[in-house]
Structure 1
């Protein structure tokens, strides 16, 4: 028992000795810190933080909240030397929480030796510069055994900013308590950003007529972060010429972009920048004042430049203004020289209201011409275009050599000719063939002979009803005289003369865009002028009954017909002598004995030679077409309506429907196999139609 007691006493004495030594070391560190650091107001530079009741032990429900912040340029460090808390799962009973700059670093419980704390916890217990450390300790209601708690020692220390690679001092750094400062090697000055060192290399050589300029430390490598500005200036009437000498070596990227640069600026604002290894050619500045700027970045080992500058008499060079020439023409001109400035073709003087193209200019002492009147391109302007015609591009450029093209305003029209027009030197729009736009203006003409629906069978007398859009050129007059007509443009209609004979001085309303003869809302087209063919044998003007020769009339409408899918013109025949082909006839006439159709009917007919048709006592002429089919015929009420080819349903944009005949006359008894109908042969009247439309 005595030996055991003695051994126990020895162990206890050794522990107390170790504790005293550790406490002594900490106190020595504390004393050193206090001696080395100035007193910063009320901020304590070192001290202890520990759990309540330490080292005897903490009571249930004990708690502690502690926070300490470092001044600017300092950081606070905490060293835990003791930890003895109740052990629990995820420290849910008793816990010590450690924070740095409001971020949780550790949640601790249980026991850890000083060695364990030094290895895994203490290296991380420090704040950022000017930051804070905080501690939160909380015990629950009871412990199965007594625990001594925790104890730590904190210190506030200066931060050595010079060790931070991001402090951005380009040369030298001096750390002091609470901060740092950058400074430069001899020959450099600190920039206004207090971090960058620059060479003091700018010079003002005003009044110097010749001399040498070199990059700093020439012929050795030039220093980094340089911005050198050299000013050369002399009296008016002189200019500087710069000649590079020896090596020219200014850093450049592989893609050609300058890293470092030598820039020459003149009084006129002209700028030239040089880099790489090729020696630049001599520079005649044309200026009495020149600024040469040399810039370098933060690294590199290039040698820089050396140049010789001298003055020479000021000269003027051409051109005086772009898009002009000089008379006389010389490489350069002495002060006082006069020249005639003439604008290039297609250009005029900007300040002149008239189309003047030349003026006189004199070379001044500053190397500039006076006066300077710019030459600007001739502007042809936006042309005046007829109705329905517009430019292909909105707001196109309209000056010399620019081009425009035209188009029609909607799909139901097309240009009668396509061409590009170029703005010429005289200010006129000119076609590729050399015609002025005003003399050869393309016109928008209706697209003819196209429909949007088709069928392949039917007849008029007893015929098949047409659907809307199938025969969009068909017009109808439903009051007496009842008859049909064909739209051939957006203003003109063709019909049989006998339909309108005696009604020339009356206003007639024609219906279009409908297949229903009793439609209450059709397109109504009002006549302005009715023109009957002059050779038509008009009933009532002679004692003879008409033989229907020249049975054709033109009607001009009072306003432009609004074209669309339901109403659009048919094409006229080609100006050829080719035989008339079989086709389709349409109308609102009788479709069975003494019955007038309420619907637009159509049917296909065959063309026969005149000598194969019975004219029933009337004389047929070469101005007529004989056509018919098996119980297919035009009849009363169809007069004036169209006979067109190809057959309905076989037309296309490449093969449009053409008006080959106009329903004219025939024997009584429609659909009789023994008789055929007669139609005015439109092909024979193309010239009359064209001339009449042009005159009216």
Structure 2
């Protein structure tokens, strides 16, 4: 590449030599020319067609390279498509030139921009096409490598003073400051080691004048074991703080052990004892501000101990002190509901001695007693998955099915003895809640209909209705998830047999019925049994309990009915249901129901059988609604179907027992076992079995 004539080279040589001598100890040296010329081939005579030239020069560190065009005469074309001069800085195109420009034009619009970045490069690309209709002299430019004054660059990061030299710059500090190892930041040398000093005064640099910026002062206080420092702030306290309360500058007091405290603002810290034989006081400032700092005095005093020895405990001593001297012994007693952590027992007390370093020894933590996760009954779970189980914490139980509810409160608190305690003060083991079936609720509400000639029930309307059809057809009422009630005469003679009952259906032939197998059949002891083939002479106490061999799977279509209350007033109206006879005595495969009312016994024809106070009669004179053969053992419940609610659940008031041979005769009424007379027997029998 031809960039200069021979005579020009010799003109620039002395400059290069002098530069290298001057900066011999600096990074810029060697064969890098400081100045030179770059021009088109044949200049100034003119360039030939298809002429080409490329040129590139880079500046050393701390320098930049500039180019000054003094002549430009190229063929003019649209967008300089024919002949062109391209000038690049750091690989980025600055200008694409062609045509003629005067020196004045070049100085005004081109030359001020022809320079590289610090340590960067300039490059030139000249290209002429195949034709040249008239002679053009080309271009010529002068390049120079110049030192950059980094001190004028705001990004040089010198915090105080800057000194520029050829090829670089150095930061330095004002008197009283030292330069950090980062060679840019100035700070005050203000750290002191006052090891062994028992009293004195510490002040921020320059006190009481404003403290300097970028300060990190560390004052170290240290004395022998058995002593501690107490600090008192004197005079003005003025350490820069933001409006939001955060510290811009800060004073931090850091004892060998204990809490670290940081202060700022205008409110002086109060007197305090460090409880440490070694204290480091650190004062930090940022790069600006005019605050005045702090002044504090320190002195030593004998070490002592304060209580409590450990959280959740108290001291037992012959004398009560705010501070205890070295060697003093106390008894440490855990607070109520806490025990010693490292002792596997219910111990709550131990002896501790005040040491020279102001610490108690031994120190055994007092931790809250833990009642643990209690054993859960079947169908029960905790309201919270992983509840805390320590002293005074609470847990709650709930049933894991919507068809069950707790029989009593499910809230318990961990007491000081480590037992879960109910709101009434009883232990969980003594007063444990249980999940009992929700009784007397159905899925669907309806009204109207009959049993004898009655209306068909819909699925879920009478979910406690059970059906037995293996021997003599009969019904029963589910009263829990294990027990059912029926008439004694339905199961008389089958006590030792295994009977199957069907539930959760309204169609006696439904293949999806829930089948329940009996484990026990318990007939009331006052019921008068008869031999096979003999007629029943007395239906008093016509009631029996059936225990199933497995828990009945409760759901929307199979649920228990509630038992009546002992104080229940006479029911004037209720609903009877069953799979028994309807319309001319034919048995129904569909569950039917109807509403009937209770009548005084003197208005009912006893059909020559004895009537007792354990019975009542019911029917309907207008619509001839009645229970019939095959309905025996089934329920008569109140309120009438369609009127039940959570506040007024359905209750079993009667069991279909006996009646006249014809069904639905207005002159005769059917008789029902009065369930409320047998509540004690039902409860005792279920508890024993």
Query: Structure 2-normalised TM-score?
Result: 0.92
- Deviations 1:152-177, CA, capped at 9 Å, x for gaps: 22222222221111111111222222
SS in 2 for 1:499: helix
Say if 2:229 is the partner of 1:240: yes
- Match among 480, 486, 489 for residue 471 of structure 2: 480
Mapped contact 2:223–2:278 kept (Cα < 8 A): yes
State the Cα distance separating 1:632 from its structure 2 match.
Answer: 2.5
Say if 2:417 is the partner of 1:426: yes
- Match among 57, 60, 65 for residue 68 of structure 1: 57
- Match among 109, 126, 135 for residue 124 of structure 2: 135
- Match among 239, 246, 254 for residue 250 of structure 1: 239
Say if 2:457 is the partner of 1:466: yes
Mapped contact 2:19–2:29 kept (Cα < 8 A): no
- Which of 402-411 and 570-579 deviates more? 570-579
Say if 2:152 is the partner of 1:160: no
C-alpha distance in 2 between matches for 1:599 and 1:233: 97
Partner of 2:519: 528
Identify if the C-alpha distance between structure 1 residues 459 and 83 changes in structure 2 by more than 3 Å, giving closer, same or farther: farther
Partner of 1:14: none
Identify if the C-alpha distance between structure 1 residues 612 and 172 changes in structure 2 by more than 3 Å, giving closer, same or farther: same
Partner of 1:518: 509
- Match among 117, 142, 157 for residue 106 of structure 2: 117
Say if 2:179 is the partner of 1:210: no
C-alpha distance in 1 between matches for 2:16 and 2:111: 18
Say if 2:601 is the partner of 1:597: no
- Match among 67, 70, 84 for residue 78 of structure 1: 67
Mapped contact 1:189–1:200 kept (Cα < 8 A): yes
- Which of 496-505 and 27-36 deviates more? 27-36
C-alpha distance in 2 between matches for 1:515 and 1:602: 11
Partner of 2:328: 337
- Match among 673, 683, 687 for residue 680 of structure 1: 673
1:646-685 equivalence runs, <5 A: 646-685=639-678
C-alpha distance in 2 between matches for 1:206 and 1:258: 29
Partner of 1:50: 39
SS in 2 for 1:648: coil
Identify if the C-alpha distance between structure 1 residues 622 and 190 changes in structure 2 by more than 3 Å, giving closer, same or farther: same
- Deviations 1:78-108, CA, capped at 9 Å, x for gaps: 2222333333333344333332222233333
C-alpha distance in 2 between matches for 1:591 and 1:98: 112
C-alpha distance in 2 between matches for 1:534 and 1:207: 99
1:215-230 equivalence runs, <5 A: 215-230=204-219
Say if 2:387 is the partner of 1:396: yes
- Match among 83, 86, 99 for residue 88 of structure 2: 99
C-alpha distance in 2 between matches for 1:200 and 1:652: 85
C-alpha distance in 1 between matches for 2:451 and 2:401: 33
State the Cα distance separating 1:448 from its structure 2 match.
Answer: 1.2
1:544-555 equivalence runs, <5 A: 545-555=536-546
Identify if the C-alpha distance between structure 1 residues 118 and 594 changes in structure 2 by more than 3 Å, giving closer, same or farther: same
Partner of 1:618: 609
- Match among 139, 159, 165 for residue 150 of structure 1: 139
State the Cα distance separating 1:561 from its structure 2 match.
Answer: 1.4
SS in 2 for 1:515: coil
SS in 1 for 2:79: helix
Partner of 1:201: 190
Partner of 2:400: 409
- Match among 384, 387, 394 for residue 378 of structure 2: 387
SS in 1 for 2:94: strand
- Which of 482-491 and 465-474 deviates more? 465-474
Say if 2:385 is the partner of 1:359: no
Gaps of 5+ in 1: 1-23
Partner of 1:17: none
Mapped contact 1:538–1:546 kept (Cα < 8 A): no
Identify if the C-alpha distance between structure 1 residues 673 and 196 changes in structure 2 by more than 3 Å, giving closer, same or farther: same
Identify if the C-alpha distance between structure 1 residues 536 and 72 changes in structure 2 by more than 3 Å, giving closer, same or farther: same
- Deviations 1:263-284, CA, capped at 9 Å, x for gaps: 1111214211222222222221
Partner of 1:19: none
State the Cα distance separating 1:43 from its structure 2 match.
Answer: 3.0
Mapped contact 2:453–2:625 kept (Cα < 8 A): yes
Partner of 1:7: none
Aligned residues between the structures: 673
C-alpha distance in 2 between matches for 1:575 and 1:130: 105
Identify if the C-alpha distance between structure 1 residues 439 and 28 changes in structure 2 by more than 3 Å, giving closer, same or farther: farther
Identify if the C-alpha distance between structure 1 residues 479 and 100 changes in structure 2 by more than 3 Å, giving closer, same or farther: same
Gaps of 5+ in 2: 1-6
C-alpha distance in 2 between matches for 1:82 and 1:453: 104
Mapped contact 1:34–1:45 kept (Cα < 8 A): no
Identify if the C-alpha distance between structure 1 residues 209 and 641 changes in structure 2 by more than 3 Å, giving closer, same or farther: same
Mapped contact 2:442–2:460 kept (Cα < 8 A): yes
C-alpha distance in 2 between matches for 1:26 and 1:661: 130
- Deviations 1:445-497, CA, capped at 9 Å, x for gaps: 11111122233332222333222222211111121132111111111111111
Mapped contact 2:233–2:295 kept (Cα < 8 A): yes
Mapped contact 1:419–1:432 kept (Cα < 8 A): no
State the Cα distance separating 1:239 from its structure 2 match.
Answer: 1.2
Partner of 1:446: 437
C-alpha distance in 2 between matches for 1:30 and 1:473: 117
Mapped contact 1:30–1:46 kept (Cα < 8 A): no
- Deviations 1:349-391, CA, capped at 9 Å, x for gaps: 1111111111111111111111111111111111222111221
SS in 1 for 2:606: coil
State the Cα distance separating 1:317 from its structure 2 match.
Answer: 1.0
C-alpha distance in 2 between matches for 1:199 and 1:650: 90
Say if 2:633 is the partner of 1:640: yes
C-alpha distance in 2 between matches for 1:90 and 1:326: 95
C-alpha distance in 1 between matches for 2:132 and 2:603: 133
Query: Structure 1-normalised TM-score?
Result: 0.91
Partner of 2:4: none
Mapped contact 1:47–1:153 kept (Cα < 8 A): yes
C-alpha distance in 2 between matches for 1:28 and 1:475: 124
State the Cα distance separating 1:428 from its structure 2 match.
Answer: 1.6
C-alpha distance in 2 between matches for 1:139 and 1:109: 10
C-alpha distance in 2 between matches for 1:324 and 1:653: 50
Partner of 1:275: 264
